[in-house]
Structure 1
Amino acid sequence: MTELELLAPAKDLETGIAAITHGADAVYIAAHKFGAREKAGNPIEDIAELCHFAHAYHARVYVTVNTIIFDNELKEVQELINQIYNAGADAIIIQDFAILAMDIPPIAIHASTQMHNIDADHINFLERNGVSRIVLPRELTLDEISNLRSKTKAEFEFFIHGALCVSYSGQCYMSYSLSGRSANRGACAQPCRLPYDLVDEMGNILAKNKHLLSLKDLNLSGYLADLIDAGITSFKIEGRLKDIAYVKNITAHYSKLLNSFIGLNKQYKRASSGKCAYTFPPDPERTFNRGFTTHFIDGRKPNQASLNTPKSLGKRIGMVVRIYRNYFCINSAETIHNGDGLCFFNSQNQLVGFRVNKVDGDKVFPNQMPTDLTIETTIYRNEDFELEQTLNRKSAERKVECNIDVFITANNIKLSIKDEDGVSALIEIPNGFDKAKNPNYLDTIESQLRKTGDTIFNVNRVNIECSTEVPFIPTSIINSARRQLTLQLRTKRIELHKQNLRDNTNNPATVPNPILTYKANVANRASTNFLLKHGAQSIEPAFEVKRPKGEVELMVTRYCIKHELGLCPSKQGAKPTGRLYLKNDHNLFPLVFDCKNCVMKVIQPNK
């Protein structure tokens, strides 16, 4: 039976616990350094506590060590990986080749999408060097995933939801070039989210002050079955900087979708245990989003970018039908609440937001009436006050099903518990109790044994067999026995959890491309030596170590501004534009359109 894993982000311990409680089979989290999100670090003690919580459900914890590493950090990274392993983590997610050559414990290694895992030869090279899972690029189509699956054996993980980097991951140097903040070091300044003008070689402005590189958010809710058919077994939600409400909502949404799929396809099962119950209906539109795109999953499509704003739009809730001095009327099927944040695009296509002060039927009273609101304007809700309130409280329970059997004889009482995975525990109590006066006292024993309260267990069945007089067992003793049983069972589940281990079999492998440019992101001597040992002939240092000379590609992206704006000659029959540039207040970035390979390149501006 094939296991399917929902992998959720965790910026901290609390969020990681919430993700698992809301249906994640695994979470990924950073330690205090080297985690590709410099604002989402965590102490080892928190990672150990998260592992302890997760493993009770047989859920897993993956720790990101996916920045490039400098020479003076190699020893520190090696020590950190030892600490991560000892904390109980199930895998590390890496970018730097140096880790593959380190003397580290046999923890499983996953190759981050930062390693640019786009072709089969590269994937097979990583697998032969101990990598068990590959995080595929977000830009791949279903056919491309299927093709890679037919040529490789490693597990495939794929992003299904969240923010999109416009560039191929690991291949963007725009932030470092402009600000000294490296995306490969977890410090991206996100220049892709800024506004630019698109100008031609004559200086004509084709698009003014637009967020031309800012993509909408990924949403592959409708493609899970297709991805499974293509060979994906781990479904990843982006968002290690997102708040806990977002993680709860999105995790619950995809957990329910996976469960629905498995309900119709019995050859699959979830990779962890337990069933979730929620106090809210999950809805991705009700938490942070820039609008949604399916990216390239079924081919190139228009409307991938959020051209007018990089901010959250939330959910479209209706249209303005009347406007008065201090309120407006809206045609909406949604219930609007006091405290909601609403927004709209004004006549200049600028996003304008306001807070709802009061609602009376279809009348909405803003805290301050927008001056440029017009009839037939579309209104979005980007802050859902009611949902936020719900998600900031306890909003889910996750329970592992179990059965309890009780055997009562004249001398002792045996209580055993067995969960949905076949894990069991047993305790015995001497039977020195008086005879129960109530002939239905077995019902009382059963009722007390079912009260598992705040434990992770839900008692599905209690079976009591009594071969003697029914004893009067005080409620306090029954409750104590139940607590001992469930505690033993939880402890045993954690003990039986199998930490993923790396196969250290030495498989000779040659690097697919012996000529490595700065895009290989080689920033230390250990990576250099590793690659040379495996057949590399020429290795340029990483961009962050030595800036390359000549025409430098700051970004390579499958997304194309020409296609987004309807200017593509080859696919849309548009007229040739000549050379195009992105322009802001400080720089003019040449654009190169490789139409043969259907990619766009952003070039470093001349100083």
Structure 2
Amino acid sequence: MEWEKRNRHFLAPGNINDSHNNRPKLKPELLAPAGEMAALKAAVENGADAVYLGGKAFSARASAANFSHSELIEAVKYAHLRGVKAYVAVNTLIDNQEMAEALEYAFFLHQIGVDALIIQDLGLLSVLRRVLPELKLHASTQMTIHNAEGVRFLAKWGVDRIVLAREVSLAQIAQIHTQTSCELEVFIHGALCISYSGQCLLSSFIGGRSGNRGRCAQPCRLAYSLEPAGTESTKPPAKGEASHLLSTRDLNTLELLPQLVEAGVSSLKIEGRMKRPEYVATVVRIYRQALDRLFNNPADFQVNAAEKRDLEQIFNREFTPGYLLGNPGRDLMSHQRPNNRGVYLGRVIRYDRQRKQVRIKLEDTLRCGDGIEIWVTKGGRQGLTVNKLLVNGTLREEAYAGEEAIIAGEAAMHPGDRVFKTYDGQLMSRALESFRQTQRRIPLRVKVTAAVGEPLVLEAVDP
């Protein structure tokens, strides 16, 4: 209490610098993940303003394909030529004997024109501010910055942007924005962690693979049994039991874009450096379209059903707004499964054991080439690829909601079993086509100078 009395002038909201309260709301940057070159192209061609990627070392996503030095050069050139910024994650904790190598790597990244480094290690921050003061630095979410004082502290050290901890709410983001002048970056879509951002030690303790060193084994996605304290039972979870007790849902904030902009977020970050390029293409496309609509006509902004469905179809563990609207409690969790749930497709009507065929009553479209998963009453889940579709005795390429479709299936299924589409061939093809060839157009201002006896001069400038 004595501390509060001495610092009351500092804690009172009215006495904290609020000179930034009336800053105009600018269109935030859409920042996309790139775990490989194909994903980078997918992000750029579908409208990302910036991409973030990692090299072969010092990246908190060591299991992603990542980029060699030559690939980093190519990636930065590709992005910059199309007006897209490139940030490189150097966001592991740096051991003492690694500091020289990390600095050499930072010099290389600066030389090839990287727009900023995303870092976690305070020692690296300290050295980089001394030896490369012109290099822009972003504080990784691994730093767990969740209040205005944390932002101000790092800003004094020359950090240009803070990737806020995923646990902050919209109200807290707005308050931090009001009380500071630093750029704020917020995760808007993708996987979440059960632990506070940057504070998970579970993988390190269980398997000796530290998430803060880029080697998280994702033990939070495993199945666990919950036993009374004091027991020594090690029995596995029963089948059908909600056993993924630490597995979170995926973040989805598409319908919260107006509130995120109003809160003063500078950069909207999509998670997914370990996701396939088609995922990156789909998610970036949808957020790009929604963000553009919001700024073109804010009064009438709404998310359409097709966008919601495509986000759900491309990958979901069920969705949550995370902590943006407050503590979500149990609604943060996806206890039944730790991987892609897909989109509900219908229910099994009958299974023909002799012909090994399953009849499904559809509530959505099913096409040849789609992948489905049947949640079998006994025996877990059965995955199938649809190679042939039979509707009313006729082979078809697709079947529609309300129809009954027959497909081949080896494992026994039961009437009433739920069916989910986990792979939509048409959606994946459309996503792949979006970045198969360069399509992003860049406006240029061209000037031609011609004079008798002089060489023709052509100047092209990105306005």
Which band: TM-score by shorter chain?
Answer: 0.7 to 0.9
Q: Is 2:315–2:341's contact at 8 Å kept on the other side of the alignment? A: yes
Cα distance in 1 for partners of 2:28, 2:162 equals 15
Matches within 5 A, 1:509-588: none
Alignment deviations for residues 261-316 of structure 1 (CA, whole Å, 9 cap, x no partner): 011149xxxxxxxxxxxxx9981122122121112221233332221221211222
Matched, 1:88 2:116: no
Matched, 1:374 2:404: no
1:73 to 92, 98, 103: 98
Matched, 1:61 2:83: no
Per the alignment, residue 347 of structure 1 pairs with 377
Per the alignment, residue 337 of structure 1 pairs with 367
Cα distance in 1 for partners of 2:446, 2:184 equals 33
Residue type at the aligned position of 2:70: E
Secondary structure in 1 aligned to 2:388? strand
Per the alignment, residue 156 of structure 2 pairs with 128
Displacement after TM superposition at 1:45 (Å): 2.4
2:193 to 165, 179, 186: 165
Matched, 1:20 2:53: no
Residue type at the aligned position of 2:409: Q
Displacement after TM superposition at 1:115 (Å): 0.3
Cα distance in 2 for partners of 1:283, 1:427 equals 49
Cα distance in 1 for partners of 2:223, 2:140 equals 29
Matched, 1:300 2:327: yes
Matched, 1:181 2:203: no
Higher-strand-fraction structure: 1
Alignment deviations for residues 64-105 of structure 1 (CA, whole Å, 9 cap, x no partner): 000000011101111111111111110000000012221225
Higher-helix-fraction structure: 2
Unpaired segments ≥5 residues, structure 2: 1-23, 300-306, 392-402
Alignment deviations for residues 545-604 of structure 1 (CA, whole Å, 9 cap, x no partner): xxxxxxxxxxxxxxxxxxxxxxxxxxxxxxxxxxxxxxxxxxxxxxxxxxxxxxxxxxxx
Alignment deviations for residues 483-513 of structure 1 (CA, whole Å, 9 cap, x no partner): x96xx53xx43xx8xxxxxxxxxxxxxxxxx
Using the TM superposition, name which of 346-355 and 302-311 deviates more.
346-355
Matches within 5 A, 1:496-507: none
Displacement after TM superposition at 1:179 (Å): 1.1
Secondary structure in 1 aligned to 2:367? coil
Q: Is 1:111–1:135's contact at 8 Å kept on the other side of the alignment? A: yes
Secondary structure in 2 aligned to 1:28? strand
Residue type at the aligned position of 1:86: Q
Normalised by the length of structure 2, the TM-score is 0.81
TM-aligned CA distance change 1:152 to 1:322, over 3 Å: same
1:217 to 208, 228, 250: 250
TM-aligned CA distance change 1:48 to 1:425, over 3 Å: farther
Cα distance in 2 for partners of 1:366, 1:319 equals 13
Matched, 1:255 2:279: no
Displacement after TM superposition at 1:334 (Å): 2.7
Cα distance in 2 for partners of 1:17, 1:212 equals 36
Residue type at the aligned position of 2:320: T
TM-aligned CA distance change 1:98 to 1:348, over 3 Å: farther
Alignment deviations for residues 203-256 of structure 1 (CA, whole Å, 9 cap, x no partner): 499985600000111111110111111111211110101111111111101111
Alignment deviations for residues 310-347 of structure 1 (CA, whole Å, 9 cap, x no partner): 12112222233444443333333432122321113233
Cα distance in 1 for partners of 2:276, 2:381 equals 22
TM-aligned CA distance change 1:351 to 1:429, over 3 Å: farther
Q: Is 1:22–1:397's contact at 8 Å kept on the other side of the alignment? A: no
Secondary structure in 2 aligned to 1:381? strand
TM-aligned CA distance change 1:348 to 1:172, over 3 Å: farther
Moved over 6 A (4+): 204-207
Q: Is 2:360–2:406's contact at 8 Å kept on the other side of the alignment? A: no
Cα distance in 2 for partners of 1:63, 1:57 equals 17
Per the alignment, residue 290 of structure 1 pairs with 317
Residue type at the aligned position of 1:335: T
Matched, 1:30 2:54: yes
Matched, 1:111 2:139: yes
Q: Is 1:214–1:310's contact at 8 Å kept on the other side of the alignment? A: yes
Alignment deviations for residues 2-46 of structure 1 (CA, whole Å, 9 cap, x no partner): 232110000122221221111100000012210111123312222
Cα distance in 1 for partners of 2:447, 2:291 equals 31
Residue type at the aligned position of 2:368: N
Residue type at the aligned position of 1:87: I
Identity %: 34
TM-aligned CA distance change 1:391 to 1:400, over 3 Å: closer
Secondary structure in 1 aligned to 2:71? helix
Cα distance in 1 for partners of 2:366, 2:282 equals 19
Matched, 1:10 2:34: yes
Secondary structure in 2 aligned to 1:200? coil
Q: Is 1:328–1:363's contact at 8 Å kept on the other side of the alignment? A: no
TM-aligned CA distance change 1:98 to 1:385, over 3 Å: same
Larger radius of gyration: 1
Q: Is 1:308–1:351's contact at 8 Å kept on the other side of the alignment? A: no
Residue type at the aligned position of 2:365: T
Q: Is 1:357–1:365's contact at 8 Å kept on the other side of the alignment? A: no
Aligned length: 406
Per the alignment, residue 425 of structure 2 pairs with 385
Per the alignment, residue 234 of structure 1 pairs with 267
Matches within 5 A, 1:313-324: 313-324=341-352
Displacement after TM superposition at 1:399 (Å): 4.0
Secondary structure in 2 aligned to 1:228? helix
Alignment deviations for residues 512-546 of structure 1 (CA, whole Å, 9 cap, x no partner): xxxxxxxxxxxxxxxxxxxxxxxxxxxxxxxxxxx
Cα distance in 2 for partners of 1:244, 1:97 equals 32
Secondary structure in 2 aligned to 1:77? helix
Displacement after TM superposition at 1:108 (Å): 0.7
TM-aligned CA distance change 1:365 to 1:170, over 3 Å: same
TM-aligned CA distance change 1:368 to 1:265, over 3 Å: closer
Per the alignment, residue 358 of structure 1 pairs with 388
Alignment deviations for residues 119-154 of structure 1 (CA, whole Å, 9 cap, x no partner): 221111001101111111112221121222222221
Q: Is 2:42–2:278's contact at 8 Å kept on the other side of the alignment? A: no
TM-aligned CA distance change 1:429 to 1:356, over 3 Å: farther
Cα distance in 2 for partners of 1:427, 1:350 equals 72
Residue type at the aligned position of 2:161: R
Displacement after TM superposition at 1:49 (Å): 2.0
TM-aligned CA distance change 1:123 to 1:281, over 3 Å: closer
